[in-house]
Chain A
Amino acid sequence: MKIEKELTVANKKGLHARPAALFVSLVEKYDVTVTLSKTDDIVNGKSIMGILMLGATEGTVLKITVEGQQATEAMTAFEQFFSKQEEELLS
């Protein structure tokens, strides 16, 4: 199964090191392949360097593609993730 959605980064500091790290750990919980893309840049959702390289700041819209058995659950988790501030993610 393959799902595609556009999600907006809510975190004030954008997808910097800590949130990117949290996102990668979240992706790894599911048996899925994930790509994130911003205009022409497409990166692997398990690559923290790739995610950081997107330079996604607050309000950036990212296209997320999730493929695999658990795609639906994973996408729900990602939607929640992107809507939160860093402090909420850490607690």
Chain B
Amino acid sequence: MSSEIVLKGVPAAPGIAYGPSFILDKGEFIVPKRSISASEVDSEIARFEEAVNNARREIHQLKTKITHDMGLAHAQIFDAHLLVLQDADLLNRVISDIRKTKSTAEYVFFAVIKKFIEAFSQMPDEYLRERAADVSDISKRVLKHLMDESKLHDLESLQDDLIIVSHDLSPSDAVSMYNKKIKGFLTDIGGRTSHTAIIAKSLGVPAVVGLKDATLRICNQDYVIIDGQKGVVIVNPSQETKELYIKEQSKIIASLEKLDDLKKLPAQTSDGKKVAILANLEISAEINAVRKYGAEGIGLYRTEFLYMNRLDLPSEEEQYQAYKQVAEAVAPFVVTIRTLDLGGDKFISSVHIPRDMSPFLGYRAIRFCLERPDIFKTQLRAILRASMHGKVQMMYPMISGIGELREANAILKKVKESLREEKIPFDEDMKVGIMVEVPAAVMTAETLARESQFFSIGTNDLIQYTLAVERVNEKTADLYDPAHPAVLKMIQKTIDAGHNEGIHVSVCGEMASDPLLAFILLGMGIDELSMSAASILGVKKMIRSVKLQEAQRIAYEALHLATGQEIEEFVGAQLRKLMPN
């Protein structure tokens, strides 16, 4: 038994979890050994050949696409991939081994290919050593056709629930994680608002990010404890440590059960101020979880996920069906659909977006949509059509000035006109608002408020732009401070500007999910808070325990303090007086 190792990272999602780890980064997957009968041999071989043909077809498509997007030079590696899949020596060996061993095609193929991968990984020459990655890529493509795709990273076929350890989770990884039995996430990089944090919170499991070298220090199947509150990870814990955490976890569960009673009660302060609490939605599949926590609608429906993990663009019909499904499920509450927010750290295969030097300051979100009206219009049509099936409102991400808002609205107007001509119904009164997440939008909020029907403050980006701290960079993660006076003043200014024009102002960033910060937002006059579903009850509990008057006074005082730390300490102390637990 190896001894206990303690790793410290950035706490990204609260809770405690323990169990065996699964290193995702190395792309390891399990191909079960299964025997077949003599009569199945021929059909097994046919299945193998078909899988190889399908994989070849895919590579051809990919090659055409890459040639088109990036030029022939980048596509040439696929010629090598294709040759591997027509390598008679390799294919014959698999076929004869299927006959000889009477095992499934995937098992035999994987066993053969694994020997190649191992041989490549041991080659002294660096260029050749890297071919292991190519071969592994090819083999995954074939295996995907031999096994259900879901089984490839099949976490469910493993006996125990797992803790995913990865260098990073991309947004598209995050999507494929959804609905899997995952107990928690650990990543080498990333900050408090990375996608790992978002997906973990929406699954209601703990996550620790920014661990730097977790993938090197944890082995597959190591027993791991995650403390998502403190950002601590314990590898191969002693029996004592295990017991300690099991006790700690049952305490957390007990307090969560108490919160359960809050579900049906409104989020109202004891002096009668009602704050709407909504949920953020990553993908449609989450909708049940959202309802479970008693959300009063969706304050942020991220649509990027419809565009990810695929080679083509989603059609108008496909988007319409997805939006309609959510609108119907959430009705009579509102669903706030954010138009496509690509770029930054979210990329898709169907459209080539050049990687900027500073992606968060580059070609992304509304900037991209205004450059690509073809893609934008398709989405707008789908959203408008879905507006007939519930209460839908829409917002543009990353607006930095009135010019962009007017340009986007002009496109919207044209789309509406053509729908009217085609006699396709939509909600003529659908509200259109903007995300306030760029300091320039805050500073011109008065102007923007006159032409928006609501404001939604995206605090994750607003903090990053205000403090000039990249949120995916673990080296600057400590500087990312939601309570920084500059951030709070930005938010106050936005709320005031919105209210002066009589529009609602909501917050849809992670900030809304922290009871202490939500208390400050309440005091600053926020109308709505939208957060990951799992955080709703905690915030509701806070709101129900306090008076608006007190929140206003404390927020006012807090805004006059010098640092984020002073603000958190001051508000924390005040809040503890108001709600002793």
B128 contacts A52, C-beta separation under 8 Å? yes
Which residues of chain B come closer than 8 Å to A53, judged between CB atoms? Answer: 116, 119-120
A25 to B134, CA, bound (A): 19
The total of interchain contacts (Cβ-Cβ below 8 angstroms) comes to 64
Nearest to B116 among chain A residues (CB) is A49
Give the residues in chain A near B76, CB-CB below 8 Å: 18, 21, 90
A48 and B77 in contact, given A17-B134, A53-B116 (Cβ under 8 angstroms): no
Residues of B within 8 A of A21 (CB): 76, 79-80, 83
Q: A49-B116, A57-B128 are in contact. Are A20 and B90 (CB under 8 A)?
A: no
CA distance A39 to B340 in the complex (A): 58
- Contact A48 B84, CB 8 Å, known A17-B77, A53-B119, A90-B76: yes
Report if B499 contacts A (CB, 8 A). no
Please give, as numbers and ranges, the residues of chain B lying within 8 Å of A18 by CB-CB distance: 76-77, 79-80
Within A1-57, which residues are at the interface with B (CB < 8 Å)? 13-14, 16-18, 20-21, 24-25, 43-44, 46-50, 52-53, 55, 57
Contact between A49 and B87 (Cβ–Cβ < 8 Å)? yes
Cα(A46)–Cα(B84), bound, Å: 10
Q: Which of A16, A25, A46 contacts B88, CB < 8 Å?
A: A46
Interface membership of B147, Cβ < 8 A: no
For the complex, what is the distance from the CA of A25 to the CA of B116, rounded to whole Å?
Answer: 21
A75 to B223, CA, bound (A): 58
Instruction: Please give, as numbers and ranges, the residues of chain B lying within 8 Å of A17 by CB-CB distance.
Output: 77, 80, 131, 134
Shortest Cβ gap from A48 to chain B (Å): 4
Question: Looking across the interface, which residue of chain B has its beta carbon closest to that of A52?
Answer: B131
Question: Chain B residues near A14 (CB, 8 Å)?
Answer: 125, 127-128
B77 surroundings in chain A (CB, below 8 A): 17-18
Chain B residues in 8 Å Cβ range of A52: 120, 128, 131
- Tell me the smallest distance from the CB of B139 to a CB of chain A, in Å: 11
A17 smallest CB distance to B (angstroms): 4
Specify which chain A residues have a CB less than 8 angstroms from the CB of B134 in the assembled complex.
17
Q: How far is the CA of A90 from the CA of B73 in the complex (A)?
A: 9
B-chain residues with CB within 8 Å of residue A46 when the two chains form the complex: 87-89
Asked if B6 is an interface residue, CB under 8 A from chain A, the answer is no
Q: B128 — which chain A residues lie within 8 A by C-beta?
A: 14, 16, 52, 55, 57
Residue pair B125, A57 in contact (C-beta under 8 Å) = yes
What are 30 A-B pairs with beta-carbon distances under 8 A?
A16-B127, A16-B128, A16-B131, A17-B77, A17-B80, A17-B131, A18-B77, A18-B79, A20-B83, A21-B76, A21-B79, A21-B83, A24-B83, A43-B89, A44-B88, A46-B89, A47-B89, A48-B80, A48-B84, A48-B87, A49-B87, A49-B89, A50-B87, A50-B89, A52-B120, A53-B116, A53-B119, A53-B120, A55-B125, A57-B127
User: Which 6 A-B pairs give the minimum distances between C-beta atoms?
Assistant: A21-B80, A47-B89, A17-B80, A48-B83, A16-B127, A57-B125
Q: Which residues of B contact A (CB under 8 A)?
A: 73, 76-77, 79-80, 83-84, 87-90, 116, 119-120, 123-125, 127-128, 130-131, 134-135
Contacts A18-B76, A49-B90, A57-B127 known; 13 new A-B pairs at CB < 8 A: A13-B127, A16-B127, A16-B130, A17-B77, A17-B134, A24-B83, A46-B89, A47-B87, A49-B116, A49-B135, A52-B131, A53-B120, A55-B123
